[in-house]
Amino acid sequence: MPALSPDEVLRYLNAKGFLSSAEVELAKSRWNAERDGPLLQWLGREKLLPVDVARDVIELLAENQLEGLEPRLPGLILLKLAGRGGRGTVYRAWQPSLKRVVAVKILSKELAQNREYLQRFLREAKVASKVNHKNVVRAYDINKAGGNIYLVMEYVAGASVGEILREHGKLNPADALEIAHHVAEAIAYVSQVGLVHRDIKPDNIMLDKKGRVKLCDLGLARPSGATQLTSPMVAQGTPAYMAPEAALSPEIDSQADVYSLGVTLYRMLLGKLPFDHPDPVEILRMHLEEEPRGLDGGELPGALSELILRMLNKDAKKRPAAKDLPREIVSLEKAIPGLDKSSLWELVEGGEATLPVPGEQSTLALEPTNEMGFVQTQSPPANKPWETPPLPSPSASQRIPTSALPVSRQAPITGIGLGTMALALVLCVVYIVFFTLQPPPENKPDPQIDQLKTDNAALKGELEAEKSRQAAVREFMAKAANKLREEQADDAASAGAKPQRESLDDIMAEINELRASHSAAENPGAGE
Ligand SMILES: Nc1ncnc2c1ncn2[C@@H]1O[C@H](COP(=O)(O)OP(=O)(O)OP(=O)(O)O)[C@@H](O)[C@H]1O
Ligand SMILES: [Mg+2]
């Protein structure tokens, strides 16, 4: 197919809802091929299209896939693959109705056909989709089309911590601790509404280009106690990161997430796992029985090793409580020189430290998002920064140029007269007196948390009902097994010779033996 002219590309982008007519006119009047280079890259630079979307469109045009990728999902144009995981495939996609880029996770065919898994997935995604926290990837929608079940979620332009670790091996302590801090904030928040993530691991933590931390896959979480719906077909977590109690029983709470974050932190700091083995069952045994090694060699500051050891305690109650963990991490960051100097954006290709500009809004951010708004101004410290005293101030090269700061922060105060200063002093005193006389502000309850608690309670109700149905089935099975055992014992007594069978497995094995001998007797030619 001949290459499309710039006008044709703009027409296509307009027809598919990537650009409005006004944006097309703007592009036509501003873009100059000689000065600005290729059109799509310019659209990305000018923020008329998200950079990742512009790159995908370039590739799709080159591959002659103007309509986007298969499968066709209503209201979405599938762009390029963002990644693959155990439960499905993630694509970048364009949602023309809201003019935004989203991530679409299409469940694997095997899971999409598993009724039991699907029911749980849909129920949990319903609750999780209402969670709106700066460190949690938003789940927007869940849908079914042409046999595909897919989850539409917030797109994070950046990289997963798993990908970063595969590239860098490990992270510096300040970065690792800052990531753990934000994930801990997410765990503390979702634990308030009774949700457990169950699968905290580096591949489920993303960093965007500004160094913001986002926890993925909360839609696959299960409310605490809601456990009887587990199916052996569906992994309930990743063995290397799984809490010991999760290996024994699906009845876990957010303390299991604290453990998995402990494993993640260990992995980020030391570049290896505390328990590693090719056989997943052996890994689970190690979580249950062995103590994590590698934390007493002085490679990490003592207080940090101690925190990880507490997070990895076999006894869930002895771990830091989910709600207290963010505070504990922050005090550690403040207490140990160098640990508060993270620069997460540097870990992401194309990442940049940006300062929040008041009122700034992405043209695509039609939904209000809860941005973090932090300022990071220093490069990561040298190895083991706690061993050398911190420099009194960052070097000039480490500082963000003041020209990048909002105007109000740039202007030096010059030429202030004594009178002005005295007036300012008086105003300060009035201000302090006024505010110290005010009653302390009351802690306002978060309406979202109340709503989520109600939703989760309803969900728990449904799950309790499911639980009692399953308990009834188990009771029936136990009775049937006892009856079988009694009959077996009677038979053994009357035969006088056979020993009493011990377990249900033995009984089943005997029944199978009997069946086999019956069918051999009835059908002597079979099996030859
Ligand atoms: N919301 C998102 N925005 C951008 N990229 C994403 C998003 N979610 C996932 N990805 C990308 O897709 C990849 C695969 O994600 P996925 O959740 O399917 O894999 P996983 O976590 O390894 O496995 P699973 O969750 O199935 O156990 C991630 O490593 C990440 O690069
Ligand atoms: Mg995942």
Give the tens place of pLDDT for each residue, 448-486.
677 777 767 776 676 666 566 556 545 645 554 565 556
d(CA 261, CA 23): 44
Partner residues linked to 222 by β-bridges: 196
Mean pLDDT computed over 410-418: 41
Q: Find residue 100's DSSP bridge partners.
A: 95
Residues 152 and 144: beta-carbon distance below 8 Å? no
Q: Please indicate, yes or no, whether residues 150 and 168 belong to a single structural domain of this protein.
A: no
Instruction: Give residue for tokens 């309850």.
Output: 445
**329 and 204 belong to one structural domain:** yes
Distance from chain centroid for Cα 73:
24
* Ligand 1 atom nearest to 87, measured from its CA: 26
Give the whole-angstrom CA distance, residue 315 versus residue 184: 19
Whether residue 236 has its Cβ less than 6 Å from ligand 1:
no
Looking at the structure, tell me whether residues 137 and 202 fall in a common domain. no
Query: Do 149 and 226 belong to one domain?
Result: no
Nearest CA to ligand 1 atom 20: 85
CB 130 within 8 A of CB 452: yes
460 belongs to a structural domain: no
Q: Measured from the CB, is residue 90 less than 6 Å from ligand 1?
A: yes
Alpha carbon distance 378, 260 (integer Å): 29
Q: How far apart are CA 331 and CA 133, in angstroms?
A: 22
Task: Identify whether 239 is part of a domain.
Answer: yes
Is residue 293 one of the residues assigned to a domain? Answer: yes
Q: Ligand 1: does its nearest atom lie under 6 Å from the Cβ of 264?
A: no
257 in a structural domain: yes
C-alpha 404/C-alpha 354 separation (Å) is 8
Read off the tokens for 135.
Answer: 């460190």
DSSP letter for 143, please: E
Cα–Cα distance for residue pair 164/348, rounded to 1 Å: 8
Give the 3-state secondary structure of residue 397: helix
Domain that holds residue 22: 1-66
Which H or E element spans position 140?
strand 139-145
Atom of ligand 1 lying closest to residue 214 CA = 1
Instruction: Name which of 149-158, 219-228, 377-386, 469-478 the model is least confident about.
Output: 377-386
Ligand nearest to the CA of 238: 1
Q: Which atom of ligand 1 is nearest to the CA of 89?
A: 18
Closest CA to 194 of 247, 257, 238, 143: 257
Question: Looking at the structure, do residues 111 and 254 belong to the same domain, yes or no?
Answer: no
Same domain as 207, residue 219:
yes
DSSP 136: B
- Residue 38 and residue 184 in one domain: no
Residue 182 lies in a domain: yes
Tokens describing residue 321:
């409580």
Domain final residue pick, 117, 132, 155: 155
Confidence category of residue 393, pLDDT binned at 50, 70, 90: very low
Do you find a cis peptide bond into 447, omega within 30 degrees of 0?
A: no
Q: Of 90, 104, 110, 150, which is best to mutate to test ligand 1, by the most ligand atoms within 8 angstroms of its C-beta?
A: 90
* Number of structural domains found in the chain: 3
Q: Is 217 in the pocket of ligand 1 (CB under 6 A)?
A: yes
Mutate to test the pocket of ligand 1, among 160, 347, 349 (most ligand atoms within 8 A of CB): 160
* Greatest alpha-carbon span in the chain: 115
Closest ligand (CA of 87): 1
The helix (H) or strand (E) run that includes residue 84 is strand 77-84
pLDDT reading at 239 higher than 80: yes
Decide if 380 contacts 172 (C-beta within 8 A).
yes
Q: Is the CB of 204 under 6 A from ligand 1?
A: yes
Which one, of 181, 222, 216, 185, lies nearest residue 201 by Cα? 216
pLDDT at 335 over 50: yes
CATH number at residue 135: 3.30.200.20
Q: Is 110 in the pocket of ligand 1 (CB under 6 A)?
A: no
Minimum-distance ligand 1 atom for the alpha carbon of 156? 3
Q: Which of 149-158, 211-220, 362-371, 456-465 has the highest mean pLDDT?
A: 149-158
- Kindly identify the ligand whose nearest atom is closest to the C-alpha of 84: 1
pLDDT tens-digit map of 490-502: 666 665 544 444 4
Give tens-digit pLDDT for 55-89.
999 898 888 887 778 888 999 999 999 999 888 89
Predicted confidence at residue 353, as pLDDT, reads 78
Contact 258, 315 (CB under 8 A): no
Burial of 139-153, coded b for 16+ CB within 10 Å and e otherwise, reads: bbebeeeeebbbbbb
Last residue of a domain, one of 155, 179, 195: 155
Helix (H, G, I), strand (E, B) or coil at 206: strand
Q: Which residue CA neighbors atom 19 of ligand 1 most closely?
A: 85
**Strand (E) or helix (H) holding 152:** strand 148-154
Provide the 8-state DSSP code for 412: -
Which entry of 56, 199, 257, 455 is annotated as an active-site residue?
Answer: 199
Q: What percent of the chain has pLDDT over 90?
A: 43
- pLDDT bin (cut points 50, 70, 90) of residue 305 is very high
Residue 19: CB atoms within 10 Å: 22
- Does 310 lie in the same domain as 195? yes
Query: Is residue 426 included in any domain, yes or no?
Result: no
Shared domain check, 132 and 6? no
Spatial separation of the C-alpha atoms in residues 255 and 184, rounded to whole Å: 11
Give catalytic status of residue 199 as yes or no: yes
The mean per-residue pLDDT over the stretch 499-527 comes to 48
- Calculate mean pLDDT across residues 401-422: 42
In a mutational test of the pocket of ligand 1, which residue from 104, 206, 207 has the highest number of ligand atoms less than 8 Å from its CB?
Answer: 206
Q: Among 124, 151, 216, 349, name the best residue to mutate to test ligand 1's pocket (greatest count of ligand atoms within 8 A of Cβ).
A: 216
Cβ(294) – ligand 1 distance below 6 Å = no
Range list of H helices, 273-324: 280-289, 302-311
Per-residue pLDDT tens over the stretch 347-383: 999 888 765 544 333 322 223 332 222 223 233 333 4
Query: Which of the listed residues 347, 367, 386 is the one where a domain comes to its end?
Result: 347
Whether residue 153 has its Cβ less than 6 Å from ligand 1: yes
Q: In DSSP terms, which residues pair with 136 in a beta bridge?
A: 215
From ligand 1's centre to the CA of 104, what distance in Å? Answer: 10
Q: Is 420 exposed, middle or buried (0-12, 13-18, 19+ CB in 10 A)?
A: exposed
Query: Closest ligand 1 atom, CA of 238?
Result: 27
Which comes out higher in pLDDT, residue 378 or 387?
A: 387
Ligand 1 pocket residue status of 88, Cβ below 6 Å: yes
Same structural domain, 304 and 222: yes
Supply the CATH number for residue 308's domain. 1.10.510.10
The span from the CA of 261 to the CA of 198, in Å, is 10
Whole-structure pTM value? 0.68
DSSP lists the bridge partners of residue 95 as: 100
Give the single-character DSSP code of 439.
Answer: P
By DSSP bridging, strand 222-223 and strand 205-208 are unpaired
* Cα 391 from chain centre: 35
The bound ligand whose nearest atom lies closest to the alpha carbon of 158 is 1
pLDDT at 61: 86
143 & 200 share domain:
no
Cα gap 280→475, rounded to integer Å:
31
Rounded to a whole number of angstroms, the CA Rg of the chain reads 29
C-alpha 199 to ligand 2 mean position (Å)? 8
**pLDDT of 422:** 61
* The residue to which tokens 């003592």 are assigned: 302
Phi, psi for residue 296 in degrees, rounded to 5: -115, 15
Per the domain annotation, does 363 fall within a domain? Answer: no
Bridge partners of 102?
93, 154
Phi, psi of 111 (to 5 degrees): -70, -35
203 in contact with ligand 1, CB cutoff 6 A: yes
Q: What is the pLDDT of residue 470?
A: 57
State the distance from the centre of ligand 1 to the C-alpha of 69, rounded, in angstroms.
Answer: 18
Question: Residue 152 forms beta bridges with which residues?
Answer: 104, 141
| Residue 85, ligand 1, Cβ within 6 A | yes
Report pLDDT for 373.
Answer: 27
Same domain, yes or no, for 328 and 206? yes
The DSSP bridge partners found for residue 223 are 195
Residue 82 in contact with ligand 1 by CB distance below 6 A: yes
Q: In whole numbers, what is the pLDDT of the chain averaged over residues?
A: 76
**Residue 438 has what pLDDT?**
53
- Which of 129, 113, 83, 139 shows the shortest CA–CA distance to 231? 113
From residue 152, give the alpha-carbon distance in Å to each of 73, 149, 158, 184, 348: 11, 10, 17, 24, 23
Distance CA 317, CA 313 (A): 8
Structural domain contains residue 77 = yes
Q: According to the model, what pLDDT value does residue 495 have?
A: 59
